[in-house]
Amino acid sequence: MPSMMDMRLVGQTCSAYDAGTEDSERSCESCLHWKGEHEMCELDIFWEQLTNLDQT
């Protein structure tokens, strides 16, 4: 499972982010696509999004 910091960073920049509630912090953890028994993005884009953060 990814770290909380990674989930926050990806959530801030993810174009597919879909908030579960309006007042939640923008993080993968609060995204409607973050689910399953392994707690991962159902769109299978988390690792790609995280990798793209480091490219400047």
Structural domain boundaries enclosing 37: 4-53
Domain count, the chain: 1
Q: Which long-range contacts (CB under 8 A, 24 or more apart) does 47-52 make?
A: 49/10, 49/13, 49/14, 50/2, 50/6, 50/9, 50/10
Residue 20, burial from CB neighbour count under 10 angstroms (0-12, 13-18, 19+): exposed
- Overall average pLDDT of the 2-14 stretch: 94
- Overall average pLDDT of the 9-15 stretch: 94
The pTM of the whole model exceeds 0.85: no
Confidence of residue 36 (pLDDT cuts 50, 70, 90): confident
Q: 4 vs 10, 21, 29, 36, 56, CA distance in Å?
A: 10, 18, 8, 17, 22
